[in-house]
């Protein structure tokens, strides 16, 4: 295996996981196929992409477009700069078009992990991030958003469907993959404890044994309220509105379950 693909969604704890994996010596590239952000690249990596694209990658906008159209060529170019290090990257919903995603899921040199978190926590965290305009580096405990039942239903169907689609695609292709949970593997653990829990799962997917080469960085929680119902201003009316419809009630039940 030359790559580790982490299939996740926003607010699932993927940044924390990325920091922890970086301490093993993996070459972590975060959201490599983000549709708007260029990402952090070393000068040699920029040169490698420019060469692989025959000069098409000449600025940030061109790089973003080319990498999303050519995900495997992007991975090969970046990994060629540091051949001895496995390159780890994240893929979120909307990062890649259908063909690019299928190419990634069919590759034989990519190990896969699916990272999930209790969906209602993801939804509330995303609502808070949109209010403050930032996804990290700020304490959001005091922010109590008003949740919209209609927005939740649309988000929940999309969120649930994407993870089901990814898992089904890997199973159909016979790809082993690690199923990681923010609550079971990351929350309340030190970086070393997380590695002790997840490295055997990743090795079972084909990654070589990894050791800790640096102390994992710690990222403080953004929301320090342990009860998700108290993180919002209108939980009771929000839940009551959803429970009025049997299908929506099932979505709420699913969202409150730890994966």
Alpha helices (runs of H) in the chain, residue ranges in sequence order: 14-22, 43-52, 60-69, 71-81, 98-106, 119-132, 149-172, 191-203, 235-243, 246-255
Check: CB of residue 226 under 8 Å from CB of residue 94.
Answer: no
pLDDT in tens, 86-112: 999 999 999 999 999 999 999 999 999
What integer pLDDT is reported at residue 38 of this predicted model? 82
Q: What is the pLDDT of residue 163?
A: 97
What are phi and psi for residue 94, nearest 5 degrees? 90, -5
CATH second-level architecture of 3-26+86-255? 3-Layer(aba) Sandwich (3.40)
Question: Packing angle between helix 246-255 and helix 149-172, nearest 10 degrees?
Answer: 70
Q: What is the pTM of this model?
A: 0.94
Whether the CA torsion 149, 154, 157, 159 is positive or negative: it is: negative
Where the chain has pLDDT below 70, the residues are 134-135, 217-218
* pLDDT at site 30: 85
Q: What is the pLDDT of residues 34-72, one digit of tens each?
A: 999 888 888 999 899 999 999 888 788 888 999 999 999
Report residue 188 as tokens.
Answer: 């309340």
Per-domain residue ranges of the chain? 3-26+86-255
- Give dist(CA 162, CA 174) in Å, integer: 19
Instruction: Please name the residue that has the structure tokens 């201003």.
Output: 233
Structure tokens at 250: 């099932």
Res 82: pLDDT: 86
Q: Provide the pLDDT for residue 249.
A: 98
Residue 142 CA from chain centroid, whole number:
25
Q: What's the pLDDT score for residue 138? A: 83
pLDDT at residue 219, as a whole number: 73
């Amino acid at each position: 295996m030359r790559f580790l693909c982490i299939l996740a969604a926003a607010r699932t704890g993927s940044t924390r996981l990325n920091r922890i994996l970086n301490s093993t010596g993996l070459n972590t590239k975060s959201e490599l196929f983000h549709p708007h952000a260029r990402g952090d690249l070393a000068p040699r990596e920029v040169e490698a992409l420019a060469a692989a694209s025959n000069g098409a990658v000449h600025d940030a906008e061109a790089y973003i477009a080319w990498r999303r159209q050519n995900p495997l060529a992007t991975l090969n170019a970046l990994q060629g700069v540091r051949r001895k290090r496995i390159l780890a990257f994240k893929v979120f919903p909307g990062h890649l078009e259908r063909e690019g995603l299928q190419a990634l899921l069919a590759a034989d040199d990519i190990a896969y992990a699916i990272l999930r978190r209790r969906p209602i926590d993801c939804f509330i965290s995303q609502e808070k991030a949109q209010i403050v305009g930032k996804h990290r580096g700020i304490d959001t405990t005091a922010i109590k958003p008003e949740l919209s039942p209609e927005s939740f239903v649309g988000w929940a169907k999309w969120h649930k469907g994407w993870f089901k689609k990814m898992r089904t695609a890997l199973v159909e292709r016979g790809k082993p993959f690690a199923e990681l949970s923010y609550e079971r593997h990351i929350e309340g653990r030190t970086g070393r404890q997380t590695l002790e829990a997840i490295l055997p799962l990743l090795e079972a997917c084909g990654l070589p044994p990894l050791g800790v080469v640096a102390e994992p960085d710690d990222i403080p929680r953004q929301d320090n309220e342990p009860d998700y119902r108290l993180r919002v201003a209108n939980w009771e009316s929000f839940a009551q509105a959803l429970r009025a419809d049997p299908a929506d009630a099932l979505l709420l039940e699913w969202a409150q379950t730890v994966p």
